[in-house]
Structure 1
Amino acid sequence: MSPPCSSSFSSEETQTQTLNLTLIPGLPNDLSGLILSFVPYSHHVRLKSICKSWKIFFSSKTLIHFRLKHLPISRLSHLLCIFPQDPSIASPYLFDPRNLAWCPLPPMPCNPHVYGLCNFTSISIGPHLYVIGGSLFDTRSFPIDRPSSSSSTFRFNFLTSSWDRLSPMLSPRGSFACAAVPDSDQILVAGGGSRHTMFGAAGSRMSSVEMYDIGKDEWVALDGLPRFRAGCIGFFVGNEVEREFWVMGGYGESRTVSGVFPVDEYYKDAVVMNLKNGGKWRELGDMWGEGERRRLGKIVVVENEDWDVPDIFMLDGSDIFRYDMASNCWWKETSLPRKAPDESAVGFVALDRELHVMTLVNAVDLTETRRSRQHKKATSLLMQIYHPRKKTWRSLITKPPLHHHLDFKTAVMCTIQL
């Protein structure tokens, strides 16, 4: 661990000296601050109520900067951020699997004219959490029961625990591919449309691509996708010399069954943009054969420290597949030890180089009084965790303190290190 700089807690020291308070009795505040900085982020909210000096310390803007700069990656809190519903109504939550701790975040700023935000994308860069685009209902549009896409961009700053409204995208979109450019303050979005979770196969599709510059707070249009594509996944491959943006799966045109019911036509291929080649796109062939699967499953990307090619995994039913770039095929990696009752209502994320498969289970809550002797079914979250390097499984179970229903078919999730 790097030695802390003398000014790391300068503002904190000024506050504590002004109030004549100490963090830990018998220790200087510099050493006390270093010790307390090792406390996992998920516990900070609860520790603020211990005393006034700890409230000031754990509310300090420099604390997270200090953790990101001086603590090794293994000591950082690898957190899962869950958006159960519209973040302007239902507060998002952080979950720390290592400590089984939950921490609520403030709800996003509310717009009184819109409601039902879904199919947005959340991504983290440093101590910031971004919420981009989505699909919603606008009371100012006609007809009001027809969803429209959003171009809004919001950022939650963990240093100030507040939301900021940023420049909107050039083209409103939801259900799109999104990824942060590695080692750069830029975000790339591609494709998307206006589909809402309330409607199965409706909504528009688009092919436009944009890049967001965080420093300039500005969106710039890039060359569009070869075809309209929504419901896709995006990630980066390579280094600064040869960096590519991959977009996989999704759906384009739709057909109708019996001339009435719309059905999506899902893509089996991927397209790749070379950022160093003028942003030109190239198309890859199909990743699976006819009849093998109907659509691309849920995708997660595990960054690889040894080389510039990440490990890409797909959850398809109860099986996990690994993508092989050389053959452009998916090969079975493993199967879930415990199958989910509803394979479509499963969460899938990569956290701390492990694959987390999440399902909701009903557990018996025995907190009722003895007189009533009535058992109440409480929803618990079961996490089955797979380590790709060790080829091992483990599991944990926790009860989410969510005040809104959690449905992994519509919930949005991302990960962050603090």
Structure 2
Amino acid sequence: MPLPSSSSSPSSTRPRPRLDQSRTLIPGLPNDVAALILSFVPYPQISRLKSTCKSWYAFLSSKTLISLRHKRNRNSLSHLLCIFPQDPSISNPYLFDPETLSWLSLPPMPCNPHVYGLCNFAAVALGPYIYVLGGSAFDTRSYPLDRPMPSSSAFRYSFVKSTWERLSPMLSPRGSFACAAMPGSNQIIVAGGGSRHTLFSAAGSRMSSVEIYDVERDEWRAMDGLPRFRAGCVGLLVRNEQEREFWVMGGYGGSRTVSGILPVDEYYRDAVVMELRNNDGGGKWRLVGDMWGQEERAKLGKIAAIDDDCGSSAFFMLDGNQILRYEMAPNLWQKESTLPRRVPCEKSSGFVALNGELHVMTLLEGFSSSDTSSQTRKQRKGNKSMMIQIYHPMKRTWRSIVSRVPFIKELDFRTSVMCTIRV
């Protein structure tokens, strides 16, 4: 899906202030010590401090800040949640810091005047960048107009430059696909996908192609395809000592019809695994058997991964009001815990891992039943809060927090896209 050549964004039109080393950041301290101190400020709070003085504005807007933050220990960086509530070219993405309950708006992605309604794209973080890949959208230049088309576009948001950058497009357009970042080799791998749009519950194509993106070269390379068509799947990077594997779980392939009219997806209960190698990228795919019985659940739930200090990963799934842990040896999802506050089945929930904890997010009403004033209800109507139930797998404890959300329209976790980033 071709896009305009310009990749400018609202933030890129403002010239970056020049960092003058002669200006004092903190009186009485050398600038290098003051810069180190300021680099520990939580990232979402940085924009508030820029108006303190000219020297702070210049430093907090410079590339030096991000460089200093990433030179520190990885665990000392702010672990943030990035939420894409809708099409990122028309709706701003937001960063959320669960430690300070603060929000930060990012500029919208460069738009194409012919393309609208982008959804089912993948967002993944690698270094000080957030990558937005593929998706499904409508194109005014295609026929028929009401048929969504998969996209091959690739963008990334640079926290160093505070701008969006256009990247080389994928070899095959795709949406609803598996995706994982490989920090050690500075690569991103994508697999499967199709053209399904959120407006259509059971339609669209499926594919089995796999490709890998080299960040330094800005190029895509094809790899061995999946054993069969698979869309709506989840991609996970499994690390164990020196070995790395790319797991593709769940998803759907074929479909059947109910009463010969209504199409229904046939979901996979298994996974396929590719061993990743440093020299040639990857090996052959191997099949992992069914991970649950047909009577347990219809499809794979939302997945979150937590990395421990030894480099190994643990995988968890949100299944209704339960959290399940994946046990690799028996190839089963086993119950880990139950949400303290049950979420009604009609409500959508978000599920991510931040700072070694699992976060289950649901929206709450913006006003409580104790607000008797009709004027107060009218003023606060539509202003939502988000409740986050947080589970610590090592301590097996729960806690919860509540935060106001900045979204103009109600957030739907079924269609929004989320990723986490350390910055």
Deviations, residues 158-184 of structure 1 (Å, cap 9, x unaligned): 001001110000000000000012411
Give matches, 1:269-280, under 5 Å: 269-276=270-277, 279-280=283-284
Q: Which moved more, 1:23-32 or 1:373-382?
A: 373-382
Report the TM-score when normalising by structure 2.
0.91
Residue 69 of structure 1 pairs with residue 84 of structure 2: no
Give matches, 1:175-194, under 5 Å: 175-194=176-195
Q: Which moved more, 1:239-248 or 1:385-394?
A: 239-248
Give the superposition deviation at 1:53: 1.1
| Residue type at the aligned position of 1:383 | I
Report the TM-score when normalising by structure 1.
0.92
Q: Which residue of 2 aligns with 1:328?
A: 331
Residue 315 of structure 1 pairs with residue 309 of structure 2: no
Give matches, 1:156-195, under 5 Å: 156-195=157-196
Q: Which residue of 1 aligns with 2:20?
A: 16
Counterpart Cα distance in 2 of 1:34 and 1:241: 34
Counterpart Cα distance in 2 of 1:30 and 1:325: 48
CA contact (8 A) 1:300 1:349 kept: yes
Compared CA separation, residues 140 and 332, structure 1 to 2 (3 A): same
Give matches, 1:257-268, under 5 Å: 257-268=258-269
| Residue type at the aligned position of 2:258 | V
CA contact (8 A) 1:318 1:343 kept: no
Deviations, residues 156-215 of structure 1 (Å, cap 9, x unaligned): 100010011100000000000000124111110000000000000100000000000111
RMSD: 2.1
Which of 286, 295, 299 matches 2:299?
295
Give the superposition deviation at 1:27: 2.2
Counterpart Cα distance in 2 of 1:14 and 1:260: 64
Q: Which residue of 2 aligns with 1:405?
A: 410
Give matches, 1:249-398, under 5 Å: 249-276=250-277, 279-308=283-312, 310-342=313-345, 345-364=348-367, 372=375, 374-375=377-378, 376-377=380-381, 378-398=383-403
Give the superposition deviation at 1:14: 8.0
Counterpart Cα distance in 2 of 1:301 and 1:216: 28
Counterpart Cα distance in 1 of 2:376 and 2:391: 39
Any gaps of 5 or more consecutive residues in structure 2?
A: 1-15
Deviations, residues 219-267 of structure 1 (Å, cap 9, x unaligned): 0010100110001011122358432111100001111111111110000
Paired-residue identity, %: 64
Compared CA separation, residues 369 and 315, structure 1 to 2 (3 A): closer
Residue 415 of structure 1 pairs with residue 420 of structure 2: yes
Compared CA separation, residues 374 and 352, structure 1 to 2 (3 A): closer
Give the superposition deviation at 1:28: 2.3
CA contact (8 A) 1:317 1:344 kept: no
Give the superposition deviation at 1:303: 1.2
Q: Which residue of 1 aligns with 2:12?
A: none
Counterpart Cα distance in 2 of 1:182 and 1:79: 17
Deviations, residues 343-380 of structure 1 (Å, cap 9, x unaligned): 661100011111000000103179x9989454533311
Deviations, residues 144-167 of structure 1 (Å, cap 9, x unaligned): 110010000001100010011100
Give the superposition deviation at 1:405: 2.9
Q: Which residue of 2 aligns with 1:8?
A: none
Counterpart Cα distance in 2 of 1:223 and 1:344: 39
CA contact (8 A) 1:344 1:409 kept: no
Aligned residue pairs total 402
> The residue matched to 1:275 in structure 2 has which SS?
strand
Compared CA separation, residues 51 and 322, structure 1 to 2 (3 A): same
| Residue type at the aligned position of 1:149 | P
